[in-house]
Amino acid sequence: MTKGSAARKPDSRKADARKTAPKKTDARKSDSRKLDSRTPAPDRRSIEQKKADRKAEYRAAAEPRVQVPTTMMELKNEKLVAGGLGLARSEAGVVLVRGALPGETVRAEVRPGKGVNQGVTREVLSASPDRVEAPDLPTTDLAHASYHAQLRYKREFVQEAMSRIAKLGTEQVAAVAPTVPSPRQWAYRNTAQYLVTPGGLAYRERRSNSALPTEHDPLVMENIQTVIRLLDTSKLEGVLEISLRGSRLTGEVVAALIAPGEPKAYLKAADELMDCGVVGVSLAAPAGRRFSAGVQLVAGESEILEQYGEVQVSVSASGFAQINPEAAGLAYVSAARLAGNGPMALDLYGGSGAIGRHMALNFGRVVVLDTDFDALARGRHDIRTAGTRNMTYRDGDAAQLYQSSLQAGVIVVDPPRVGLSDASRDALQSSSALRLVYVSCDPATWARDVGDLIRRGWTLGEVTPHDFYPQTSHVEVVSVLTRTELPEKLNVTEG
């Protein structure tokens, strides 16, 4: 086991926060008896039937669906829009073209869509100087552009959202800072999830259930690539999908198997993964929302440590954490700088508190609010380990500020892709905060929320795009809003 794992007890960190939750156990330790003649043999017929059923499912998923008639068109692309799509116009209307860059003329296969036509580049007739060779992967929708161009496009995505959705003026739109680049352009992802198919690991193809086999994923960290290279997927019997989480700090990797049944049924799979260098394996039942049906430890460690900016954070293969630790760390340091200092700050949608821990150096007290039980438990463990004494974690969401006694002059929000709900924006408006740091993973919902807050009296300050996802069209935004007056009838003190 590599440095950083031996000194940690994988389950003790959550004992205080999980009194009502089922205790995670190592399935290999919970059944110390070796299988012998008294142990019932597995039902081979049922196992073979399951394998046959899975193969049939993959064959069915790979079969072509009802074909929509397509037309080959020569298109001149005007610009890139959200999703990394080129925007072109034809006699049939607007066409959004995958794989095309601004200024390029391409031959595209176009199919009609609801309100807009969808195209896929089949041939580049006149190439942009920004075009580069790129791998053909469903996880990379902007790799065909140079990295310098990617950063420029991502700034433009944010500016477009500010102009079109937030309805902000030219001066504010022009003031958006250049995109902060990721320290790494490749091999930056510390997590990946793959289908387990009879042919090996596979991506789930974009907009379909088809499986695209892969032997090499250039976006994931080298330690995960090593596991993928060594793994014999035939030993993952019964496993539908696998999630891997690596750490650049310690070099470790943990895995979560998505599969039905009990942990004991996957000891062979756990042994195979640990032989490939994985330090811990968990099991999650299949569910509509990933990992929502609970997670049980099969063997080894459930969590590993990763460096985000100035703090070390516990991460798992089943819990949320930003996938590019080095780039996310830069954004967290920036968010803490924008937050400033004071007696108290709130970190809403705070998860395990990575941003809050950066703010704790400059505030008398920081409260992290989130609804993710596991994330809160990891955060409590991490601050105990770090010796941080001015942070607390509470179960709740931003909308519950109405019913909460929590009041602070500074609030940081880092919501999911859907952005802030109406109730959350109402709660922020009624809070005692004069400064709001808004971190977003979706420029469109961020612009919607910012536009609403500005109409309520807030002023938008610094706006900086951050690139967490090189070779893709995704972009993060770190921004700050301020106001000089509190809502009427609000007379509170912080703390």
304 DSSP β-pair partners: 315
Strand stretches in 321-475, DSSP E: 342-348, 363-370, 391-395, 410-413, 435-440, 459-466
Q: Does residue 276 have an active-site annotation?
A: no
Q: Mark 87-102 as b/e (b = at least 16 C-beta within 10 Å).
A: bbebeeeebbbbbbbb
Give the distance, in angstroms, between the CA of residue 245 and the centroid of all CA atoms in the same chain. Answer: 12
Closest CA to 481 of 463, 458, 465: 458
Residues near 12 by beta carbon (within 8 Å), at least 6 away in sequence: none
- Separation of first and last alpha carbons in the chain: 44
What's the rounded Cα separation, in Å, for the pair 311 and 382? 9
Considering the candidates 149, 151, 305, 441, report the single residue annotated as catalytic. 441
CB atoms within 10 A of CB 221: 26
CB 356 within 8 A of CB 393: no
What's the rounded Cα separation, in Å, for the pair 327 and 466? 8
Furthest CA-CA distance within the chain: 79
Cα dihedral sign for 17, 22, 23, 26? Answer: negative
| Residues marked as catalytic | 441
